[in-house]
Amino acid sequence: MNKYLSGSFAVLMTPFAGDAADEATFAKQVNRLKDSRVSGVVTSGSTGEFVQLSLAEQMNLTEIAAKEKGDKKLVVGACTGNAADTLKICRHAATVNAAAALVCPPYYFRYTAAEIEKFYLTVAESSPVPVMLYNIPFFTQELELCVIYRLFEHDNVVGIKDSSANMKRLQHLVAAADSTPVSVLTGTDDILLPALAGGVSGSMTALACIMPDAVADIYAAVESGDIAAARKLQLAILPTLAKADAETFPKGYKRLMEEVSGMKFGDKEDKI
């Protein structure tokens, strides 16, 4: 069964110069991926620090990504605290021919599973671009499996990015989507090999932006059936990920990007 989205997607980061996004460096970051083996790029993801940006700033960076991405697919993060703002981003995503909008549950307040499901249905019914669910329990409420299964049945819901790092959950999601075009992607590079072996259709991660070849090589080894080589490659990236995760998220990933790219990825000059 062909999946709507498959392969490795690079989650873009936001370089700052003072309090403003550094648009020139952002464009270079996207351009750097043109000839890589990633399937697409993602704007306004968690490592993109969308919470540090206004909706207008997020949309501006999305337009830059759309211009610089070449033939890569574009997925636009549409994560806000309410359906109205999420739909503003979804409508803008349609103007740049985005493949999908990545939508996390509304955050800050605690909602019931029924309320979260209603939120997603509201977005899916009105969004002009397909909707990807986004399960990221580190920053929002975890999506219940029964809610996900029902949302998978909606014509405008095309998949999920699951960043729980929970292989048991991922395997159940893969099983639920197995005979459908719905895509199940992992958001965790640490479990990329077991996730691919378990049947996910792809991944959306920061490491794919920073070190696209390292991620692509794991995919290639799995596709060729060389699990021993894939295991070796998977183990090789773990110290790098541990080093990045040791700093306040996502600063460790930005420092890693600076090391490998030579570009300056400043942090926003906030008061903490």
Q: Is residue 227 part of a domain?
A: yes
Mean pLDDT, all residues of the chain: 96
* pLDDT recorded at residue 141: 93
Top-confidence residue, 19 or 217: 217
Percent of the chain with pLDDT over 90: 96
- pLDDT tens digits, residue range 212-224? 999 999 999 999 9
Helix (H) or strand (E) holding 256: helix 251-261
Beta-strand relationship, 16-17 and 20-21: antiparallel
CATH number assigned to the domain comprising residue 143:
3.20.20.70
CA distance 257 to 211: 8
Q: Is residue 31 part of a domain?
A: yes
- pLDDT tens digits, residue range 22-63? 999 999 999 999 999 999 999 999 999 999 999 999 999 999
- Residue 188 CA to chain centroid, in angstroms? 10
Q: Is residue 39 part of a domain?
A: yes
- pLDDT tens digits, residue range 61-76? 999 999 999 999 999 9
| Phi, psi (rounded to 5 degrees) for 116 | -65, -40
pLDDT at position 1 over 80: no
179 CB-near residues (< 8 Å, 6+ apart)? 1
Q: Where residue 270 falls among pLDDT bands split at 50, 70, 90?
A: low
* pLDDT recorded at residue 268: 85
* pLDDT recorded at residue 105: 96
Q: Is residue 270 part of a domain?
A: no
Positive or negative torsion for Cα 266, 268, 271, 272 = negative
The encoded tokens of residue 8 equal 């490795």
Q: What is the mean pLDDT of residues 164-174?
A: 97
* pLDDT recorded at residue 18: 87
Q: Is residue 251 part of a domain?
A: yes
* pLDDT recorded at residue 33: 98
268 CB-near residues (< 8 Å, 6+ apart)? 16, 19, 49, 52
- pLDDT tens digits, residue range 97-150? 999 999 999 998 999 999 999 999 999 999 999 999 999 999 999 999 999 999
CA distance 69 to 76: 13
The encoded tokens of residue 117 equal 């499901």
Q: Is residue 268 part of a domain?
A: no
Q: Is residue 26 part of a domain?
A: yes
Q: Is residue 172 part of a domain?
A: yes
Q: Is the overall model pTM greater than 0.85, yes or no?
A: yes
What is the domain count for the chain?
A: 1
User: How many CA atoms does the CB half-sphere of 47 hold within 13 Å?
Assistant: 30
**183 bridge partner residues:** 159
pLDDT at position 271 over 50: no
The encoded tokens of residue 87 equal 């739909």
Identify the domain containing residue 196 by its residue range: 7-261
CA distance 239 to 226: 22
User: How many CA atoms does the CB half-sphere of 102 hold within 13 Å?
Assistant: 30
* pLDDT recorded at residue 249: 93
